[in-house]
Chains A and B, each alone.
Chain A
Amino acid sequence: MNRFELYGAALLLSAALGLAWHGQPSAQDRLARQAPRLDERLASEEVRIDPGELYDLMGNEQLPLALLDLRSEADYNLFHLRGAQRVELAQLGQPWVRELPSATVIVVMSNDEQAAEVGFKLLAAQGLLNAYLLGGGINFWLDVYRDGQLGAALPARGTGDDTLRQRFSTALGAGQPATHPDPLHPLKRACTAKVKAAAAAKRPSGGCG
């Protein structure tokens, strides 16, 4: 080997050693770097979906849907949507989220929206393009589907303090009424659909009608 080849090899090796030492950005690093852009997306409301749309997505069997519930264990045990898995906010920064197939629609939720907004940013910062958050949170979902306020308007961003407003006599988790769409009697609600991963498969009527 000649001199240039030797220098090249040395340069390459040093660069690789430096790379192994420097490492890749963590989820927090990515969040910090991308925060302005993500805050813009949140402010534009393009990722905040109406409970009516979530109702529709839940009824669509062809669409792989991941429901991530960011609330406390107590709240989760009192009531949660059928199929929702409870995750800690910190866990959203972990590598396992990348196991979610890229075609999956992910909806994060909290009682109102505060935790969900952070959760959305963590997911989006890692490049998950199909992440959304439930507008109005569980509180508003319960207003609409448990208390029958089908025509109620989506509350403004920033309403509430992320505590569960509703009172339940027993903790039935997903055994409560209103945890999932009823395929026989779907409820209709006017809303704008925002999710782009549209699976054009047969959907039950209801949702954003």
Chain B
Amino acid sequence: MTMQTESDLQPAPAQPAVAKAERYLNPYAAGAWLGLLLFLTVLATGHGLGASGGLARVLVAVEDIFAAGRVDANPSLAEMAGGPQNPLNNWVVFNVLGALLGGFVSGLLAGRVKLELPRGPHTSPALRSTMAVIGGTLVGFGARMARGCTSGQALSGGAVLAVGSWAFMFAVFAGGYLLAYPVRRLWN
């Protein structure tokens, strides 16, 4: 099984050939490239990748403009933006920017850049949009609590054998599988 195709995911009428937009890289190959990237970042800087941290910093940067006093008084915010610290002057913010660009360019090359709202066959756009926001909120909250997300904790922490990161990763899979059956109508 070298190619994963979108058509495997839905009961659709047979398609004549695998459309260009649905040719994905072999997952093991993608994983190997990602592992190599993680290694290179560790060699260069001593730490790995991140995503949720960058988003948190963008948020606190805005908060710092309007309510700097509150930011300074709150330990969970002050650690990023307390006092004269510029929360945006941090590698993880640039990792986020780079990821947006990299995702875009790869999508462009593959013909997958398209303004659309992917959703399950029985899900209205309104429901999908609402669930995206709700899910995002849970993820954003959980990532802050866990001090990272799948990039910063599971991948980067996992690749240095950090116990907390491995525990986090198993908890993520557990959380997903726990709710899979209850929310199946969203996706199937």
Instruction: List chain A positions with a Cβ less than 8 A from chain B.
Output: 1-2, 4-5, 8
Contacts and interface: CB of A to CB of B under 8 A. Distances in A.
B2 A8 contact: no
Contact of A1 (B1, B29, B32): B1
B106 interface: no
B28 interface: yes
Interface of B: 1-2, 26, 28-29, 32
A2 B32 contact: no
Contacts of B28: 5, 8
A8 B26 CA distance: 12
A4 B2 CA distance: 9
A8 B28 CA distance: 9
Which secondary structure dominates chain A's binding surface? helix
Contacts of A8: 28, 32
Contacts of A5: 26, 28
A8 B1 CA distance: 14
Contacts of B1: 1-2
Given A2-B2, A8-B28, 4 more contacts: A2-B1, A4-B26, A5-B28, A8-B32
Contacts of B32: 8
A4 B1 CA distance: 11
A8 B30 CA distance: 12
Minimum-distance CB pairs A-B, first 5: A5-B28, A2-B2, A8-B28, A8-B32, A2-B1
Contacts of A4: 2, 26, 29
Contacts of A2: 1-2
A204 to B, nearest CB: 28
Contacts of A1: 1
A99 to B, nearest CB: 15
B33 to A, nearest CB: 12
A4 B32 CA distance: 12
Nearest to A12: B32
Nearest to B28: A5
A133 to B, nearest CB: 26
A135 B1 CA distance: 66
A54 B29 CA distance: 55
B165 to A, nearest CB: 18
Contacts of B29: 4
A8 B31 CA distance: 11
A5 B26 CA distance: 9
A10 to B, nearest CB: 13
